[in-house]
Amino acid sequence: MSATSHLDRAPSLADVLAQRLEQDIAQGHYAPGEKLPSEQQLATTYGVSRPIVREAIGRLKHDGLVTSRQGSGAFVAESGGASVFRLDVSNFKDREEIESLIELLMAIESSATELAAQRRTEQDLIALGHQLEAMQAAIERGDSGVDEDVAFHRAIVEATKNPFFMDLSTFLDRRVRHFIRTARANTAKLQTGHMMAVQDEHRDIFNAIRDKDAQRARQAAENHLKRAAQRLAIYMKRV
C-alpha cells in the first residue's frame, strides 16, 4: 500500500469536467448570462459521454453557477458569482489548515458573542444557564465535557439569530471537536484543572451576556478562545 492512503481518490470524469467548466466560467471564458454549449456539443468537444456532461453541469447547477431551462439550454448565472459558498476542508492532518480554521472560528465566535449580548432574550439566557450547569455537572462527574462545551458555544451563536453564524459555527465546531476530544483523552491528568479554567471563562462570558454588555462579552470571548487555543496547542504538541 502506498503511503498516500485516501488522499488521492480517483477523480471521476465528471469531477474533472466540472472543475474545468468552473474554471472556464471563473476566467470569463463564458460570460455571465451567456448560453454555454449544448450537452451533446460539450460531450464531443471534451471526449466524454453526455451523462458525464450532465453530471458535471448538474454540479455547477447545484452550486448556483449555472441555471438550465429545459428546451433552451444552460446559462451561466448572472452576477458572475455563485449563490453558494463552498468551504472545502481537505484533511485534518494539515497543521496550517487547522490553524487557519481555528482563526476563522475565533473570528466568528467572538463576533457572535458580541451580537448575542446585544440581542439575547430571557429564553436565550435560560438556555445558556442550563448549559453552564451541565458543564459543571460534567466536571464533577469527571467527564470530558467536550459535548457540553460545544453546546454552550452553540447556545451563544443561537442567541445571535443569524443563520449564517449558526451554520458556520456548527460546521467549524464539528471540524475542531475531534481534535479537542482526542487531545483531551491523551492527557487525562490535566483535565480537571483546565476544565475549571474553561468553566470560569464561560462564566465571564455568561455574565457579560446577562448584563447585555457587548464589549465585555467580546473581550471575554476573545480571552476564552485565546486561552483555549493555547491549551489546544499544548495538547497537540504531545501528539
Q: Which residues bind DNA (CB under 7 A)?
A: 10, 12-14, 38-41, 47-52, 54, 57, 68-74
> Residue 55, Cβ neighbours under 10 Å: how many?
17
Minimum separation from the CB atom of position 27 to DNA (A): 20
User: Nearer Cβ to a copy of itself, position 89 or 125?
Assistant: 89
Are 202 and 224 within 8 A, CB to CB?
yes
Q: CA torsion sign, 95 to 98 to 104 to 106? A: negative
Q: Is 74 helix (H, G, I), strand (E, B) or coil?
A: strand
Q: Which entry of a copy of itself, DNA, none binds 50, CB below 5 to 8 A by partner kind?
A: DNA
C-alpha cell at position 1: 500500500
Reference 209, options 116, 131, 112; nearest CA is: 116
Whichever of 17 and 209 has its CB closer to DNA, that residue is: 17
| Closest distance to a copy of itself from the beta carbon of 162 (Å) | 5
Question: And the C-alpha cell for 191?
Answer: 483535565
Q: Which residues within the stretch 175-204 sit at the binding site for a copy of itself (CB under 8 A)? A: 175, 178
Q: Return the number of the residue (15 or 190) whose C-beta is nearest a copy of itself.
A: 15
* 74, β-bridge pairs: 36, 68
Nearer to DNA, 59 or 231 (CB): 59
130 near a copy of itself, judged by CB under 8 A: no
Instruction: Assess 79 for contact with a copy of itself (CB under 8 A).
Output: yes
230 half-sphere exposure, CB direction, 13 A CA radius: 9
Burial of 17: CB neighbours in 10 Å, binned 0-12, 13-18, 19+: buried
Beta bridge partners of 73: 69
Q: Which of residues 89-118 bind a copy of itself (CB under 8 A)?
A: 89-90, 100-101, 103-104, 106-108, 110-112, 115
Q: Which residues bind a copy of itself (CB under 8 A)?
A: 6, 9-10, 12, 14-15, 18, 51, 54-55, 58-59, 62, 64, 67, 70, 79-90, 100-101, 103-104, 106-108, 110-112, 115, 160, 162-165, 167-168, 171, 174-175, 178
